Structure 1
Amino acid sequence: MPDVRSISEARGGAREISSSVLDVIDLKGEISKPGPGVSPCGDKGAGKFYTIHHPWSVSGVPVEEMKKAMERLRKSLPGKGWKIVSYGPDASPSKSLELVADSTKKKFSISIRLLDRTKRANPGSLKALISVDLTSACFQVPKGKVVDGY
C-alpha cells in the first residue's frame, strides 16, 4: 500500500532532496528552474494516487568539474541514505556517465547523468550539463483529498 502524503508534503520532500543533491554537486553553474510536478501513478486511481517528478540540470561549468561532481555524488550519497544502484556509462551511443540511486526511507529514486555534448562533431550551442531526474514512489493523498495537481 502506498504511503499517505499530501501533495505539498511530497513536493517539499522533492525540493529538499534536490537541494541536498545540489549541495553535493557543489558547482556554481546555471540551474534550471522548473519545480517538482505531479504525475499519475500508473494505472492506479488518478484521483487518489500520484508520483512526484522533479527534473532539473546544472550547466555552464567545465566538463572536468562536472566529472568531479559525479564522483562526489558517488561517494557522498550512500552516507545520506541512498543506495547506489548503478554507476558508469549508460546505454546511449555516447555512453554518458550515469548514477542511479534509491532512497527506501524517503521513497524516491534519482538518475543523474553527465551529458558531455561538447564532444559531438557539430555541438552548435549545446552545452555540457548534469541532468538530474528525481522520481518518487507512488503516494496516496490523505483521506478526503483528491489529486488536483496534474
Structure 2
Amino acid sequence: MTDTNKDPGYTPEAREISEVKQEATGLSGEILRAIGLQGEVSKPGPGVAVCGEENADRFYTIHHPWSLTGVPIGDMKKAMTRLKEELPKNGWKIVSYGPDKSPSKSLELVADSTKRKFSVNIHLYDETVRAKTDGPKSKIYVDLISACFQVPKGKTVDQY
C-alpha cells in the first residue's frame, strides 16, 4: 500500500479528512473485535499526517496507532493467530506474518486492504521475559495508516 504513494502515475483520491478519520476508527474497531480480548485500549484516536513528499496543504494520510494491554500473554498470542485467520475474511490481505527484524523477534502481522486503502502493522510485544513487578506490560500494538489522499478542491489540510 505504501508503495502506491511513490508511484508517479498514482493520483490520490480526493476525500474529506473527517470521512477518512471515521473510516480509520471503524477499521480499528474491526481489528479490535478480531483480536477478541477485553483489556485496556489506549485512547488517542486517528490523526492527520503528512503524505511523504507531497504538498502538505493538499495531501494527507490518516494514522491511527493504538495498543491493547492488561491481558495474559498466552491470550495475546492466540489473538495474533486469530487476526491472521480473521482479517482476510474482512477484505485484508496478509502481507507478512512472523518474527520481525528486531533483536527481540516480536511477532508481527502486516496486512493491506486495497479496497479501503489502508494498511495495518500489528506487533505482539512480549515483555514477560524482562518484566518486573512495576515493569513494562506486554501489549498488542496496532499501527493503522491510510494511503495518501488529497483534500477536495478548494480546501486545505489544516489538521496536523
TM superposition score category, shorter chain reference: over 0.9
User: Which TM-score applies when normalising by structure 1?
Assistant: 0.97
Separation in 1, partners of 2:122, 2:23:
18
| Aligned residue number for residue 66 of structure 1 | 76
Shift of 1:121: 6.8
Q: Deviations over 1:69-116 (max 9, x none)?
A: 101100011111001000000001111100000000000000000000
In terms of fraction of residues, the more strand-rich structure is 1
Q: What is the identity, as a one-letter code, of the residue corresponding to 2:80?
A: M
- Is the alpha carbon distance of 1:49 and 1:86 closer, same or farther for their aligned partners in structure 2, counting shifts above 3 Å? same
What is the aligned counterpart of 1:35 among 26, 29, 45? 45
What is the aligned counterpart of 2:62 among 52, 75, 82? 52
| Aligned residue number for residue 26 of structure 1 | 36
Separation in 1, partners of 2:52, 2:100:
25
- Is the alpha carbon distance of 1:67 and 1:7 closer, same or farther for their aligned partners in structure 2, counting shifts above 3 Å? same
Mapped pair 1:85 → 2:95: yes
Separation in 2, partners of 1:62, 1:97:
16
Give RMSD over aligned pairs.
1.1
Identity of aligned residues (%): 63
Shift of 1:26: 1.0
- Structure 1 segments of 4 or more deviating over 3 A? 121-124
Q: Deviations over 1:24-54 (max 9, x none)?
A: 1111100000000101111111110000000
Q: Is the 8 A contact 1:84 1:100 kept in 2?
A: yes
Shift of 1:120: 1.9
Mapped pair 1:107 → 2:117: yes
User: Which TM-score applies when normalising by structure 2?
Assistant: 0.91
Partner SS for 1:134? strand
Q: Is the 8 A contact 2:131 2:137 kept in 1?
A: no
Q: What is the identity, as a one-letter code, of the residue corresponding to 1:81?
A: G
Of stretches 115-124 and 96-105 in structure 1, the one that deviates more from structure 2 is 115-124
| Aligned residue number for residue 5 of structure 1 | 15
Gapped regions of structure 2 (runs ≥ 5): 1-10
Separation in 2, partners of 1:95, 1:103:
25
Q: Is the 8 A contact 2:51 2:148 kept in 1?
A: yes
